Amino acid sequence: MSPAIPSGPSTDSLPGYVRACALTDVPDEAVVGVDVEGTAVAVARTGGRVHAVADSCTHEQVPLSEGEVYDGMLECWLHGACFRLSTGEALELPATTALTVYETAVVDGDVYVRLDPGAST
C-alpha cells in the first residue's frame, strides 16, 4: 500500500476546499492516495485534468489509489472494475455502484478538494 500524502488546512480563497497535495505529486495518467481531514481520497490526473474520488472500490472496498488510470478512467487493481473519473460511474463489472466524486481546484500548483458540497467555510 502506498503511503497517503498528508493534507493541509483549508484556505480562505477557496471556501469549503482543503488542500490535498501538490499538483506535482500526481503525474498525468496516475493516481495517489491522500488523507483529506480523515477521508481517504484518490486524486487522479488524466488528460491534464485533476479528479478526486473516494479511495475505496465499491466492490470490495480496496484502495483505488493503487489502481491504474487511463482514458479518463480508474481501474481497480483487484478485480478490474473501471470507474469514470469525472462522474464516478461504474463502467465495468464487478462494481455496479458509482464512486463518490469530489470537486477539485488547482491553485498555485496545489490541488484542493471539496469534501462537502454544501460547505461554505
Interface residue list for ligand FES (CB under 6 A):
57, 59-60, 62, 76, 78-79, 81, 94-95
Strand partners, 6: 35
Phi-psi region of 11 (alpha: psi -120 to 50; beta: other; left: phi over 0): beta
Q: How far is the CB of 69 from ligand FES (least distance, A)?
A: 15
Phi, psi of 98 (to 5 degrees): -70, 155
d(CA 93, CA 83): 10
Nearer to ligand FES, 19 or 67 (CB): 67
Q: How far is the CB of 65 from ligand FES (least distance, A)?
A: 12
Residue 78 or 106 with smaller CB distance to ligand FES: 78
